[in-house]
Structure 1
Amino acid sequence: MTTMNKIRLALAAAALTFTTTTATLAQAPLKIGYTSVDYVLSQMPESKQIESDLKAYSSQLEAQLKSKIADYQTKAEAYQKGASAMTEVVRADKEKELTGLQGSIQEFQRSADNSLQQKQQTLLKPALDKLQKTIDAVATENGYTYVLNSDGASPVLLHGPKEGDISDMILKKMGVTPGAAQAPAAAPAKTTPAAPTAAPAGNTAKKGKKK
């Protein structure tokens, strides 16, 4: 499952698990409806812009990481070529620098992954707020006591009649024609390249000395 869908489902499950209307069980008959939050989000026009903004942000992070990796590789190659002619002090300094660069790259990659997820949440929040308000309005207008979410890793709704599905009603309330929009391609879970995993420079130098 892609990161975009994971974020959609996680936020949807937290924010849109159910909605109550002003009616209570004591005041009106129980009427339950359900919707697929993921489906409705994919149909909303905001979805394409969210995907575009997320892709642009991901590309920026990827470019920064590639630059860090290129710098590391250049310095690592220079070290390998000149290690035999270096003094112990210079060699140790170079190895320390390379180890530091490796750590910096790995830390940046972790930070970039977290930053990407936070960006997704920020971009999705206005759409989710709009969806929540629309669900509230549709539920009130049509007398639904509860509206459940039918998708997610652990859906709140496991079974329900077709007439209880109010997804299309929600879309029409927002002025969206159900099924007219194509769900945008979700961003990859990881758009940044892997950090260097080669053995520490110091180990390579010691092997060379033994030979």
Structure 2
Amino acid sequence: MNLFRVALAAAALTFTSASAALAQAPATTAATSGPLKIGYTSVEYVLSQMPESRQIESDLKAFSTQLENQLKSKYQEYQTKAEAYQKGGAAMAEAVRADKEKELTNLQQSIQEFQRSADQSLQQKQQTLLKPALDKLQKTIDVVAEENGYTYVLNSDGASPVLLHGPKEGDISDLVLKKMGVTPGAAPAAPKAAAPAAAPATPAASKTKTKTKK
């Protein structure tokens, strides 16, 4: 699954959580204001059809590539110094050898910390890029629901979707797209982001050390 689909799935889950609360709300208010009418939509589908999706995917791919290149640079530095240590470690003075081992250990820790930080940064970037599109989607859903008399609108996405069954006429996804000026299914699919190369595994500390002579 590429980064963009992961981001869409995460956004869909956000909507699913909100929809779950609505789905459990008592229907007593509907009894007093009119018949209960429930619609549903696929947030992931609508987001993927919106013109903003192409730019979001491009920006997300560029940011991911930037993080990946930084990680590769750190790993290459580690490899270079580890190889130099392996070749000359036995001939080093005790103090120099200890200093080199400490440097390699610090580089390992730096790589691991960067990997954790990069994951968090990527998640934050996803949220930042998706927020304007999600805000636009929410406002459009509100308008479509009011215009078509829907009391609740649920999200049909997610591993555990709120919607378990519903008639086709209850699906307002295309109505939402048309309200935003998007022809459902007509827009060309956004280019798929190349799957990021797997982050290089951080070498075990034991591989960088030789036994010191007693």
Deviation at 1:145, TM superposition (A): 0.6
> Residues of 1 paired with 2:159 and 2:87: CA distance?
52
Deviation at 1:6, TM superposition (A): 3.3
Q: Are 1:205 and 2:213 matched, yes or no?
A: no
**1:9–1:145 CA distance, 2 compared to 1 (3 A):** same
**1:192–1:110 CA distance, 2 compared to 1 (3 A):** farther
* Equivalent residues of 1:12, 1:128 under 8 A apart: no
Aligned residues: CA RMSD: 2.4
Corresponding residue number in structure 2 for 1:164: 170
* Equivalent residues of 1:4, 1:186 under 8 A apart: no
Q: Are 1:78 and 2:84 matched, yes or no?
A: yes
Residue 59 of structure 2 aligns with an amino acid whose one-letter code is D
Q: Are 1:99 and 2:111 matched, yes or no?
A: no
Deviation at 1:16, TM superposition (A): 5.5
Corresponding residue number in structure 2 for 1:9: 12
> Residues of 2 paired with 1:192 and 1:135: CA distance?
38
**1:209–1:182 CA distance, 2 compared to 1 (3 A):** farther
* Secondary structure at the counterpart of residue 148 of structure 1: strand
* Secondary structure at the counterpart of residue 93 of structure 1: helix
> Residues of 2 paired with 1:156 and 1:199: CA distance?
47
Q: Structure 2: where are the runs of 5+ without partners?
A: none
Q: Structure 1: where are the runs of 5+ without partners?
A: none
Residue 156 of structure 1 aligns with an amino acid whose one-letter code is V
* Secondary structure at the counterpart of residue 157 of structure 1: coil
Range moving further from structure 2, 185-194 or 144-153:
185-194
Residue 119 of structure 1 aligns with an amino acid whose one-letter code is K
Corresponding residue number in structure 1 for 2:42: 36
**Structure 1-normalised TM-score?**
0.88
Give the aligned length.
206
Residue 168 of structure 2 aligns with an amino acid whose one-letter code is K
**Structure 2-normalised TM-score?**
0.87
What are the within-5 Å matches in structure 2 for residues 36-185 of structure 1? 36-185=42-191
CA deviation profile, 1:10-31 (whole Å, cap 9, x unmatched): 33324565599xx843111111
